[in-house]
Amino acid sequence: MTSRSTECRQIAAQLTAPGKGILAADESIATMSSRLEQAGVTPSADSRRMYRELLVTTPGLSDGVSGIIFCDETLGQVLSDGRPFAQAVRQLGILPGIKVDTGAKPCPGLPGETITEGLDGLPARLAHYAEIGAAFAKWRAVFTIADDKPSWGSIANNANALARYAAACQEAGLVPIVEPEVMMTGSHTIQRCAEVTASVHAAVRQQLSLQHVDLAGIVLKPNMITEGDGSPERSTPEQVADATVQVLRAWPAELAGVAFLSGGQPPERATANLEALQQHQTPWPLTFSFGRALVSPALAAWGGDETRYADGQTALGVHVAANAAAARLRRDLQSA
Ligand code: 13P
């Protein structure tokens, strides 16, 4: 094994260490700007920087967070005290990560479906991010459920891109977070979400193997298995956990860990589902890599108001603590 693969395995284990999870704060400039605007904050490079500073300087953050995913803009910015973001979070004992895909774009030939782009020039960008302190990376493939979707073409294209990205990351000494997201949008059943996610994962596993990606040096970031947000059903956390673990069982034991996205679930539901997931014995740790389920309450509590800065941090701290406690449950159950 090369020293880079040993390093990747160590970082992947650190990211999914018991009782810790990942904070996804890597919204693109456009997405972040619109979320700030909705919260009453004028979007600008500086307001985006200030908001990310609020997140990373939350007291006690490293008690429940092993890594933070940033976008390119933030990784090039500095905190008010002049320290670059990557350096500041490393000093807290948190690993900095970087979203390296350039977004899900309409896929020619597959109307209504997307292909995530960003492979062109990727090795040079990864080398740069490693040099400025990144320890891991993220790439998100997106699949939407409809009667005739996702198509096999979309599954094959996106699985191939994810695997090529993952191989490039490991060559650069960065741990790839592999994120095949089957969206909650739609009125599909939980069974349909399970079938689609299982097909997507099978293609991703096959492509990762063809690209010789070391599964012990990646973190899988899947959606939980739920019904669509337009469905009248509301599965219990136990039903979500059962269905999710059943799909994940196809992954070999050597996979370093699983860190779920929240996918637009209300924060409390995402936490309850993560708790229920810990009741299952699995060969890999199960934790969180939430974006909205962690940061939406913080953004709402702050609202760009200087006098409510601490409220924003308290809201983030409360949600991180709740999810870290959920992720710690299994270890506690095992040692009881
Ligand atoms: P959500 O938890 O809001 O789904 O975001 C996670 C993420 O990183 C999406 O790429």
Residue pLDDT, tens place only, 86-107: 999 999 999 999 999 999 999 9
Q: How far is the CA of 336 from the centre of ligand 1 (A)?
A: 33
Residue 335 reports pLDDT greater than 90: no
> Which pLDDT band holds residue 155 (cuts at 50, 70, 90)?
very high
Contact 140, 128 (CB under 8 A): no
How many other β-carbons are positioned within 10 Å of the β-carbon of residue 127?
A: 14
Helices (H), the chain: 3-15, 29-38, 45-56, 72-75, 85-91, 122-131, 152-172, 190-210, 237-248, 267-277, 292-302, 309-335
pLDDT of res. 336: 66
Mean pLDDT of 113-132: 98
Specify the 3-state DSSP secondary structure of 177: strand
Contact 65, 288 (CB under 8 A): no
Buried b (16+ CB within 10 A) or exposed e, 9-38: bebbbbbbeebbbbbbbbbeeeebbebbee
Instruction: Report the alpha-carbon distance of residue 1 to residue 4 in Å, rounded.
Output: 8
pLDDT of res. 330: 80
Q: How far is the CA of 288 from the centre of ligand 1 (A)?
A: 10
Active site residue ranges: 179, 221
> In angstroms, how far is CA 39 from the centroid of its own chain?
23
Residue spans per domain, the chain: 3-335
What residues contact 108, with CB distance under 8 A and at least 6 apart?
none
DSSP 267-322: HHHHHHHHHHHTTS--SS-EEEEESHHHHHHHHHHHTT-GGGHHHHHHHHHHHHHH
Which is the closest atom of ligand 1 to the Cα of 292? 3
What residues contact 146, with CB distance under 8 A and at least 6 apart?
112, 186
Mode of pairing for the β-strands spanning 114-116 and 175-182 = unpaired
Which is the closest atom of ligand 1 to the Cα of 260? 2
Q: How far is CA 168 from CA 113, 140, 155, 219, in A?
A: 25, 15, 20, 15
Which is the closest atom of ligand 1 to the Cα of 223? 4
Q: For atom 8 of ligand 1, which residue has the closest CA?
A: 24
Q: For atom 10 of ligand 1, which residue has the closest CA?
A: 140
Whose tokens are 């949600």? That residue is 319
Q: Rounded to 5 degrees, what are φ and ψ at 141?
A: -100, 145
Q: How far is CA 260 from CA 45, 241, 286, in A?
A: 29, 12, 8
Q: What's the whole-model pTM score?
A: 0.97
Orientation angle between helical segments 152-172 and 3-15, nearest 10 degrees: 110
Question: Which one of 3.30.565.10, 3.40.50.620, 3.40.309.10, 3.20.20.70 gives the CATH number of domain 3-335?
Answer: 3.20.20.70
Which is the closest atom of ligand 1 to the Cα of 261? 2
Task: Write the Ramachandran bin of 280: left for phi over 0, alpha for psi from -120 to 50, otherwise beta.
Answer: beta
Test site for ligand 1: of 136, 158, 262, most ligand atoms within 8 A of the Cβ = 262
pLDDT digits (tens, 9 = 90+) for 14-69: 999 999 999 999 999 999 999 999 999 999 999 999 999 999 999 999 999 999 99
DSSP 36-70: HHHTT----HHHHHHHHHHHHT-TTGGGTEEEEEE
Q: How far is the CA of 188 from the centre of ligand 1 (A)?
A: 20
Q: How far is the CA of 261 from the centre of ligand 1 (A)?
A: 5
pLDDT digits (tens, 9 = 90+) for 276-322: 999 999 999 999 999 999 999 999 999 999 999 999 999 999 999 99
Q: For atom 5 of ligand 1, which residue has the closest CA?
A: 291
Q: Which residues line ligand 1 (CB under 6 A)?
A: 24, 140, 179, 261-263, 290-293
Tokens for 288?
A: 């969180």
Q: For atom 4 of ligand 1, which residue has the closest CA?
A: 263
Instruction: Report the alpha-carbon distance of residue 289 to residue 274 in Å, rounded.
Output: 11
From the number of C-beta atoms within 10 Å of its C-beta (0-12, 13-18, 19+), residue 148 rates as exposed
Share of the chain above pLDDT 90, in %: 97
Mean pLDDT, the chain, whole residue set: 97
Q: How far is the CA of 291 from the centre of ligand 1 (A)?
A: 4
pLDDT of res. 1: 79
Residue 332 reports pLDDT greater than 90: no
Test site for ligand 1: of 292, 295, 320, most ligand atoms within 8 A of the Cβ = 292
Residue 112 reports pLDDT greater than 80: yes
Instruction: Report the alpha-carbon distance of residue 314 to residue 308 in Å, rounded.
Output: 10
Specify the 3-state DSSP secondary structure of 335: helix
pLDDT of res. 124: 98
Which is the closest atom of ligand 1 to the Cα of 263? 4
pLDDT digits (tens, 9 = 90+) for 165-191: 999 999 999 999 999 999 999 999 999
pLDDT digits (tens, 9 = 90+) for 232-278: 999 999 999 999 999 999 999 999 999 999 999 999 999 999 999 99
Q: How far is the CA of 211 from the centre of ligand 1 (A)?
A: 25
